[in-house]
Amino acid sequence: MVLIKSMNYSGLSLNSQLKETYQLYQDLLYCSKKNDYEGFKDLILMTKKHELSPSMETSILTLKKHLPRIKNTFQSTLSNGSLEGSINKIKLIKRIAYGYRNFYNYRDRILLSFSDKKIGNENAMVFAA
């Protein structure tokens, strides 16, 4: 199943395995950007392994193994990006500080850096940390 017409790159025509691997990669990327889970799944399940590079074969096996979780990713609009950003910010504070004298100073610095991000209702404001 080829979704995108292959571009005429002279290097791809020299090696059929490279061409098939590149084409599959581009098709998977296209399905991912268009949020087409069925096309993504079909590409993964219908791919002939002997036509691909060993690295791509390993990647395809991994994608097959995690297909139910990949389906959830396609269907859901939720993301843990904001949580990961907060964790990264806390690690950055820790790295810059070279260790705080005590835990309370460290905690106060984290709360201070997140003071503009408040969550909760008017009665119970909680700092996001």
Domain edges within the chain: 12-75, 81-127
Residue 10 binned pLDDT confidence (cut-offs 50, 70, 90): low
* Confidence (pLDDT) at 116: 74
The 8-class DSSP code of residue 11 comes to: T
Higher-confidence residue of 99 and 65: namely: 65
Which of the two residues, 22 and 13, has the higher pLDDT score? 22
3 state DSSP class of 120: coil
77-84 average pLDDT score: 87
By the 8 A CB rule, do 63 and 70 touch? yes
pTM of structure: 0.59
> Which three-class secondary structure state does DSSP give residue 99?
coil
Confidence of residue 5 (pLDDT cuts 50, 70, 90): low
Cβ-contact 2, 27 below 8 angstroms? yes
Minimum mean pLDDT range among 62-66, 89-93, 101-105:
101-105
